[in-house]
């Protein structure tokens, strides 16, 4: 039978995700996509405590902040366009109220720092090698927050310099958390505004940086998941893209998640995940008549299933599903 696509051979991973472990994901939209899948299935996950980050410098700066458990103050934010903003953070952290802005920033830093110290896995997704440096302090920003273009210097990262920076960063990270497994990915989302050719060069820089780090530290500590290759080779069709023809469609994300979970989640956790998913889908059920006795009986049954699941797997955190079911029973 003829084959109509090339399928990427995924590497074997010695260490795999387990429900007992803590996980941190940082980087571009792909980190958000996989993070959402893990979160919805009740893994212990912290996804992008600074919001979406695209380049290796911004991800590295954010990791340093987490390792130091830095507390942000007035001097770390600025007011523009009616909101307080941080150059270290995505605009989702911006707010009209300064105290709210700082509060949500510091809460995520505190939680992220704790999760990173105890994490078994750190997933890092690089999106682009292009960075924007603030001319005022010569520091690379994670987000320009719609400030004037003349305020920034745009340049592409150098492979050797970036590898050297990350060698130091990872060494420091493992001193804090010796058992941490780091898995890199390159985002399959093209940075089309950079231009088609420039985007390819940028992605090449990212591949070479990751390859350099694996060569330095070995595959026992660093692994690579080929999300970029899966999209470019297995999903080589615009039907797997969103309407902007740049971001991935839900179907594509689901397929990558399927490939991801096949090789990076333990068989025991895959079995638990199926039970959690079944419970989560049942909790989402929308009855024709919410007041009907049959629906209340349905909720009681799901609540019993949830409680039994927690007894069977004490390490499993399905508190959110449990609370949702209880809230529906009280309505």
Residue at 8 is within a domain: no
Walking along the chain (331 residues) 10 residues at a time, the average pLDDT comes out as 72 94 94 94 97 97 98 97 97 97 98 98 97 97 96 97 98 98 93 84 97 96 95 83 79 94 97 94 84 88 92 92 86 77
Output the CA–CA distances (angstroms, integers) from residue 11 to 31, 77, 192, 244, 259, in the order listed.
19, 43, 29, 31, 11
Is 12 inside a domain boundary? no
In a domain, 138, yes or no: yes
CATH number at residue 148: 3.40.50.1110
Of 244, 265, 286, the domain-final residue: 265
Say whether both 261 and 295 belong to one domain: no
Given 216, 236, 265, the domain boundary residue is 265
* Model pLDDT, residue 189: 82
Do both 31 and 153 map to the same domain? yes
Q: In this structure, what token pair is assigned to residue 245?
A: 């023809």
Contact 67, 176 (CB under 8 A): yes
The CA-based angle 17-58-244, given to 5 degrees, is 80
6 lies in some domain = no
- What is the DSSP secondary structure assignment for residue 16, as one 8-state letter? -
**299 located within any domain:** yes
Q: Are residues 256 and 272 in the same domain?
A: no
Burial of 94 (0-12, 13-18, 19+ CB in 10 A): buried
Which among 213, 247, 265 is the end of a domain?
265
Q: What confidence score (pLDDT) does residue 287 get?
A: 83
d(CA 4, CA 18): 34
DSSP category for residue 245: S
Same domain, 271 and 261: no
Q: Give the start-end residues of each E strand in the chain.
A: 22-27, 44-47, 78-80, 83-85, 121-126, 130-134, 139-141, 152-156, 181-186, 222-224
Question: Residue 219 belongs to what domain range?
Answer: 22-265
Total count of domains within the chain: 2
Tell me: do 200 and 307 sit in the same domain: no
Instruction: Specify if 78 maps to a domain.
Output: yes
Question: Does residue 213 lie within any of the structural domains?
Answer: yes
For residue 233, what are its two tokens?
């080779």
Report pTM. 0.93
Which two structure tokens, joined as six digits, stand for 297? 């009986």
Same domain, 144 and 281: no
* Whole-number Å distance between alpha carbons of 91 and 102: 13
Per-position b or e across 30-44, b if 16+ CB within 10 A of its CB: bbbbbbebbbebbbb
For residues 203 and 206, give the distance between their C-alpha atoms in angstroms, rounded to a whole number: 5
The pLDDT, as a whole number, for residue 193 is 79
Rounded to 5°, the CA angle 127-31-73 comes to: 85
Whether 286 and 239 share a structural domain: no
Q: Are residues 261 and 327 in the same domain?
A: no
d(CA 65, CA 104): 15
User: The tokens of 97 are what?
Assistant: 């109220």
Q: Is residue 323 part of a domain?
A: yes
Residues 255 and 289 in one domain: no
For residue 2, the model assigns a pLDDT of 46
In this structure, the answer to whether residues 47 and 189 fall within a common structural domain is yes
- Say yes or no: 181 and 251 in one domain: yes
Residues 212 and 299 in one domain: no
């Amino acid at each position: 039978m003829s084959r109509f696509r090339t399928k990427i051979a995924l590497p074997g991973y010695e260490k795999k995700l387990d429900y007992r472990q803590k996980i941190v994901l940082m980087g571009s939209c792909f980190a958000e996509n996989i993070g959402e899948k893990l979160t919805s299935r009740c893994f212990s996950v912290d996804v992008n405590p600074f919001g979406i980050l695209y380049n290796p410098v911004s991800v590295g700066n954010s990791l340093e902040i987490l390792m130091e458990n830095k507390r942000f103050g007035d001097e770390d934010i600025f007011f523009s366009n009616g909101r307080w903003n941080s150059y270290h953070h995505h605009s989702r952290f911006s707010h009209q109220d300064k105290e709210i802005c700082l509060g949500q920033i510091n809460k995520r830093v505190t939680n992220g720092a704790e999760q990173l110290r105890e994490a078994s896995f750190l997933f890092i997704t690089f999106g682009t090698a292009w960075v924007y440096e603030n001319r005022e302090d010569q520091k690379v920003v994670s987000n320009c927050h719609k400030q004037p273009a003349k305020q920034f210097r745009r340049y592409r990262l150098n492979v050797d310099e970036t590898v050297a920076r990350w060698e130091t960063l990872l060494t420091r990270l493992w001193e804090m958390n010796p058992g941490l497994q780091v898995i890199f990915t390159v985002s399959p989302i093209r940075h089309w505004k950079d231009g088609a050719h420039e985007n390819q060069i940028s992605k090449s820089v990212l591949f070479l940086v990751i390859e350099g780090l694996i060569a330095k530290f070995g595959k026992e500590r660093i692994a690579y998941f080929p999300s970029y290759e899966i999209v470019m080779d297995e999903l080589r069709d615009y039907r797997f893209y969103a309407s902007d023809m740049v971001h991935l469609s839900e179907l594509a994300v689901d397929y990558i998640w399927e490939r991801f979970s096949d090789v990076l989640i333990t068989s025991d956790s895959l079995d638990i995940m199926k039970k959690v998913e079944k419970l989560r889908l049942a909790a989402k059920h929308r009855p024709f008549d919410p007041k009907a006795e049959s629906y209340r009986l349905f909720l009681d049954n799901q609540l019993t299933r949830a409680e039994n699941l927690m007894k069977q797997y004490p390490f499993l955190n399905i508190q959110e599903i449990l609370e949702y079911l209880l809230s529906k029973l009280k309505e």
